[in-house]
Structure 1
Amino acid sequence: MPKINISIKIFSVIIKYIYGGIISLEKLENSTIFDIVNISNELELGELVEYLKTYIVNNHAMLLVKNLEIIRDFYNDIIVKHPNTIFESENFHSLPEGALISILKQDDLQLDEGKIWEYVIKWGKGEKF
């Protein structure tokens, strides 16, 4: 098993769970809870990981939505600035229709419109590049 770097705070929470079956998350910061999930996963504490996932979904759904929005915006920015990364990908032909439509709806896609249509036609035919 690889060496795992665990803070004393997280170690204390996990040890209390292992020996007492009790975990108290109410006073912990969100980032600490996410760290506990990651470390519990590395330690293969499946039951604890599942409990923590359920806790996060039930108690911090808006945090998850916000993080997903940040990730989506990050990738949309990459796609807009470097569309060839997607359009010239070996797997472009297998891109789901909804994903392609989402990309094409980007107003500031930095690619010639004629070239975009060529890619869309090749996608429609299922052709590889």
Structure 2
Amino acid sequence: MQSAHVGKHWIGTYENGLGDGATGTLSSKPFRVTQPWAAFLLAAGPFETTRIEIVDAADQKVLLKVSGNDTRKLAGKTNSTETLSPVIVDVRAWQGREILLRVIDEQADSAWGHLNFDDFRFYAQKPVLAGAIEVK
């Protein structure tokens, strides 16, 4: 499988031996939004149940959800792919606040019921990344 992950570490919810049957949530430790822009890499099945959430650490309010369904629509794709695609997020409204990331896979009963996630970074300016989609 070619996912186009960056570096040595990434998250894939298929790669645990259970394939698409595995479900669960992985939450990061809280961290401060230090720049006005963020980007990450995502590939996910075409469901709302395979998603990344950006969450306010103080009140646990979900600030943004990005699902495999969202990325397919925004990119104009019709088929699923393992290849990670860049997602750009304007985080100016949350600058200075503590957030956390949630990697969520609640899709156990179908092909493509998994996601791949990698390389979350902050940027001082809106990043220019080949093939990127911007979510709001």
| TM band (smaller chain) | under 0.3
| TM-score normalised by structure 1 residue count | 0.25
| TM-score normalised by structure 2 residue count | 0.25
- Which structure has the bigger radius of gyration? 1
More RCO (CA 8 Å, sep 6+): 2
Structure richer in strand, relative to its length? 2
